[in-house]
Structure 1
């Protein structure tokens, strides 16, 4: 058996979005009979177990710190040193006796940073999924772009989802670079059956999902978005799926009651992964600031408006997706006139083996 097969792979997971994106890789590792452990950093109190069950993950799980919803800046700052200590302790435990360890981190969250630093200091090989993505702007999105750039420096093996990301890592960093041929989100989407959902043109509706720092912590920006949702709801029903941090900010700014009083707005708590994608797949259009959502909706071909000034992801742009600033006539008018129909594209899920299978094959072959 090769060293790479014997190596223990530790997936450091902090958020639901991260678990969704690593789940297809975890299950591919399980099929290849590689030893895998999920190391949870406890950023979300709301269950992650439903996602574990939804994706059929069987690997053992460890908790670096007790799980708790940490949706404010202060709570995250208090969590950070505890998370680092817990993650480092767990990695050291696996690395005792000189055992080979892969510490696999994903994306651009604080848990990504914690895992990469702890992995490097423990002598493990740091593997970064969705590596090399950059907006080219240090503070936008904040703090994700800063976190990415730090993690790149700690990365030993970078799995990049596109040629631009590959070029960035090869040009600026020392990591071994592998083109994964796409983003693992397409494998996760394929597992939900959302591509089989049919849209009813007689009953169009809009789905909204917003949680980015710039959108919910800027008071004027948040109020603008609430007014926009109210305006859209005059012509199309709106399903606003609330991230816990978004709900807290709406309550703090006394905006939640305004939205609940709007006849065309339905507020719902965060849905299960498959349930959200099936809801989005049937929508006339989705307004989102989530990078993962942008990728998922590109895979499904659903009309999408990215509610951000900039995005590091090319997925869907020029096809099913528009940036908010590029929407002709403004978002509300664009939706009211039904021009969202010009953005609908056929699903783009890859046939055969997707990125997750290629990532696991590379982990095995590269030792």
Structure 2
């Protein structure tokens, strides 16, 4: 039996193709949802045609947006997991699939390890090599590696980063997000978003290092205001970001700017439609970096470091908050656009082939410490 433990919007987006592939093959799996991001679960299940979770560990219909909320949520999930352990995991051997670098990743890996299951980490081997950038994702990844027995790595570079860890490294030839995007572009499902009738850029910011200190968030706002002198911006608000904007008194400042439009978070299919029609993206999100890379969309990364290689040196520029780099990006914006890059291979098929032993679409790399 395969047990898939997820908790955030990004995890569900990236693991939806894997779950759909399992369903296509009539392969049984259990979907355990931690509820770290709860408000968008219905949108995503509907977008991707995924069934309801088998187990909800947190029924509070809110997203976890603060440190105290995170602590309470984590305690509640651990309590529920211990209380309902027989309900969560099917008896006998099996795999526990976790994804990425969220607290739900670490929770799921620890839970599977404690239950004596084999833990497989999807999107494994990514590193920024800086424990504080991004924080706490880099630390979560390092701990998740320790709990894992099998590593699904998007590239050889990622697999090489795991050379000191025991276990088999499977190179999937890309990230499962490629399958998610292919699904959106092929099926053209979901509602049509309100697309501006003029050129625009998309802004998406949510990382701890950018929003949890007033000075850091104001730095992002100043960059946006600078860019808005020339370009119309759609600022897609994550719940933690909106909360901090209001707490620090910046929400009204942005809302009063006629060249910056504040928008609530969209469902995934609508968001990708907005991206495809936009001129560029400014973001601190790793998933957004990947999406931009696959879509060929110019992307200014509002971070000091990134754990991903996708798009760097091509359509993605790591700003390091440097005004010189920001100026260079917008002065030669057209040079950062390139044709979409969606490979014919499917990372999700590779993962399912390996777990079900139904094919050889993956490259293996085995190493020991």
- TM-score normalised per structure 2: 0.90
Relative distance call for 1:185 and 1:64 in structure 2 (3 A) is same
Residues 206-243 of structure 1: per-residue CA shift (max 9 Å, x gap) = 10000000000121111111122122112110000000
Comparing 223-232 with 187-196, which one deviates more in the overlay?
A: 187-196
1: CA distance between counterparts of 2:82 and 2:156?
33
Is the Cα contact below 8 Å between 1:88 and 1:119 reproduced in 2? no
SS at match of 1:131: coil
Residues 303-359 of structure 1: per-residue CA shift (max 9 Å, x gap) = 001110000100000111000138773425743x4x2111001111112x4100011
SS at match of 2:235: strand
1:366 to partner: Cα distance: 8.8
User: 1:141-160 to 2 correspondence within 5 Å?
Assistant: 141-160=134-153
Aligned to 2:240: 245
Does residue 320 of structure 2 align to residue 325 of structure 1?
yes
Aligned to 1:284: 279
Is the Cα contact below 8 Å between 1:289 and 1:306 reproduced in 2? yes
SS at match of 2:307: coil
- Deviating 4+ runs (over 4 angstroms): 88-91, 194-197
Is the Cα contact below 8 Å between 2:304 and 2:321 reproduced in 1? no
1:76 to partner: Cα distance: 0.2
1:164 to partner: Cα distance: 1.3
Does residue 186 of structure 2 align to residue 191 of structure 1?
no
Aligned to 2:206: 211
Aligned to 2:335: 342
Aligned to 1:163: 156
2: CA distance between counterparts of 1:188 and 1:89?
34
Relative distance call for 1:95 and 1:224 in structure 2 (3 A) is closer
2: CA distance between counterparts of 1:328 and 1:277?
28
User: 1:297-308 to 2 correspondence within 5 Å?
Assistant: 297-308=292-303
1:158 to partner: Cα distance: 0.8
SS at match of 1:133: coil
Residues 38-91 of structure 1: per-residue CA shift (max 9 Å, x gap) = 211011231301101111113653201213321001110111122123345555
Give the structure with the higher percent helix. 1
2: CA distance between counterparts of 1:120 and 1:366?
25
1:100 to partner: Cα distance: 2.3
Comparing 60-69 with 146-155, which one deviates more in the overlay?
A: 60-69
Is the Cα contact below 8 Å between 2:100 and 2:121 reproduced in 1? yes
Relative distance call for 1:132 and 1:89 in structure 2 (3 A) is farther
Relative distance call for 1:326 and 1:260 in structure 2 (3 A) is closer
Is the Cα contact below 8 Å between 1:160 and 1:177 reproduced in 2? yes
- Counting matched residue pairs gives 353
Comparing 64-73 with 291-300, which one deviates more in the overlay?
A: 64-73
1:301 to partner: Cα distance: 0.5
Aligned to 2:79: 85
Is the Cα contact below 8 Å between 1:64 and 1:90 reproduced in 2? no
Aligned to 2:348: 356
Equivalent position to 2:126, from 117, 133, 152: 133
1:95 to partner: Cα distance: 4.2
Is the Cα contact below 8 Å between 1:87 and 1:114 reproduced in 2? no
1:11 to partner: Cα distance: 1.2
1: CA distance between counterparts of 2:116 and 2:273?
42
